Amino acid sequence: MQQIKFNVTVDTSVIPPIFVFYNENKQPTNGSVTVHGEPTEICYVLESPGYFMQKPAITDDFNHDITFTFEDNGKTLVLVDQGSRDNEDVGLQLVVESVKTGQRYASPDPRIKNKRP
């Protein structure tokens, strides 16, 4: 299974909150992924202290082939895209919650694109 990892920081001191995604080379990116037909594990690791992940908002997953779990006490969201044979453009919003206030914040909309192999 292919694996892709992003580290994520969130700054909620501004409105709207700023989510920054970093790829495995620690370079800023938009957090989007393209899957080419094979199952892919996509990990989003929240680096900002005082927050944990909540259920992500997933849209346009018409084949219902994306599942998710949490690891590290909610600091890591692990998505598994089964690699649809159809072209899909799935929306994903990460949702984080403040430990202190219980306030929830949603990220901009990275995409998970499924491309036919």
CATH number at residue 110: 2.60.40.420
The residues with which 68 forms a beta bridge, in sequence order, are: 79
Summarize pLDDT for 13-31 with one digit per residue, the tens: 998 999 999 999 999 998 8
Which of 2-6, 30-34, 59-63, 73-77 holds the top average pLDDT? 73-77
The yes-or-no verdict on residue 117 having pLDDT over 60 is: no
The stretch 77-83 carries a mean pLDDT of 89
In the chain, how many domains are there?
Answer: 1
CA-CA distance, 14 to 49, in Å (whole number)?
A: 17
Predicted TM-score (pTM) of this structure: 0.89
CA-CA distance, 44 to 77, in Å (whole number)?
A: 5
Q: Residue 83: which domain range? A: 2-114
- Beta-carbon neighbour count of residue 114 at 10 Å? 26
